[in-house]
Amino acid sequence: MSEVLRCENLVKRYGNQLNALNGINLSLESGKIVGLLGPNGSGKTTLIKIINGLLTPTLGKVLIDGHEPGVETKKLVAYLPDNSYLNSWMTIQQIVDYFADFYADFRPDLALSMLERLDIRPNMRLKTLSKGNKEKVCLILVMSRNAKLYVLDEPIAGVDPAARDYVISTIINNYNPDATVLISTHLISDIEEILDRVLFLKSGNIVLDQSVDEIREEHGKSVDELFREVFRW
Amino acid sequence: MVWTLNKKHPLCPQIYEQICVGIAKGEFQPGERLMSVREVAVAAGVNPNTVQKAFEALEQDGILHSVRGSGWYAGEDTAKAREVLQKIIAEKTAAYFNEMDALGLAPEAVKLYVKEWNQ
């Protein structure tokens, strides 16, 4: 098992305000599904954006498979942002071609066959799809890459329970055992069964970093129940 | 196979137990090929690593065996799986009698209730 992601004393400050990230130390190994859990404003998306090179840290550093975020790491990281960046006038085929142009590890046949199973055809335009289907298209594109690190920002926000099951089985079915999946969410009970490990983020600090079965053993409660306890106000 | 998992307790031992129950009840015949780790993970909605760990523990206890490149098979000897089922039954029975005890019912009275319920 190798280390896929490493954060060392990572700090992010926006202007003169409080630190969005307050010295994060973290090491993720390959082959794990990790939940990044925290209430709104705890720093989840900031951390994810730094991992993807969309923000630069104020202090400290991030290493992905030994590289700082940049051109090299874009080849290694498959990122599902919390809002879609695809043009709505594009057809499914165009979007698939677009992804194939960008990422050498993208498998267009796999993406098209997964879309086909949802009755989403190549000639359909993105704007004609329902909100839930748009989100599934984005997830399918990301999971069709053969990446080292998958970073999914709120993949289950705003989907119905059936769609949620679809999202979960798509993640389980498509990540390869050498890769790591980092999933951010505040909907813990929906996703906790598929996690190996959780990170609780609170006001820019990691307040818990533990395997989920250890949590259940130690506390005799589900991750969701523990979360509610830690973040009670 | 229907998977019922309680999120308050570690999932790995629960998968272990449910496979044992499946074998003890004859849902899986000795030597029968089981679903792959990933298929079980999707069916039960859990992490493949959890299933893998459970299967490995089952192999260590001689309940399953794996064939490289082929998959997982129910072992020929089902004694251990039946033993696990007996243990689960004993635990659940004890828990039931304890709950009834908390309600102020002596075991003899509880047995009457069970008998009545049965009829």
In chain A, domain spans: 3-230
Q: Nearest by CB to A213, from B11, B38, B42: name it.
A: B11
- This complex has an ipTM of 0.70
Q: Does A29 touch chain B (CB under 8 A)?
A: no
Full set of structural domains in chain B with CATH: 11-79 (1.10.10.10), 82-118 (no CATH)
pLDDT tens for each residue of B32-91: 999 999 899 988 989 999 999 999 999 999 999 999 888 999 999 899 999 999 999 999
**Do B24 and B89 form a contact (C-beta atoms < 8 A)?**
no
Q: Does A222 touch chain B (CB under 8 A)?
A: yes
Chain B positions in Cβ-Cβ contact with residue A171 (cut-off 8 Å)? none
**Do B44 and B50 form a contact (C-beta atoms < 8 A)?**
no
**Domain A3-230, CATH 3.90.1580.10 — does that match?**
no
Nearest CA in chain A to B44: A193
- Residues 147-176 on A with a CB inside 8 Å of B are 165, 168-169, 172-173
CA dist A198 → A185, A208, A213, A229 (Å): 11, 8, 10, 15
- Does position A155 have pLDDT exceeding 70, yes or no? yes
Supply the pLDDT for residue A228. Answer: 86
> How many Å apart are CA A217 and CA A210, to the nearest integer?
11
> How many Å apart are CA A181 and CA B45, to the nearest integer?
16
Q: Nearest by CB to A172, from B10, B11, B42: name it.
A: B42
Tell me the two tokens of residue B97. Answer: 């009698």
- The pLDDT confidence band at residue A79, using thresholds 50, 70 and 90, is very high
Asked if B5's CB is within 8 angstroms of A216's CB, the reply is no
Chain B positions in Cβ-Cβ contact with residue A220 (cut-off 8 Å)? 8-9
Question: For the residues A49-73, what does the mean pLDDT come to?
Answer: 93
Q: Does A178 touch chain B (CB under 8 A)?
A: no
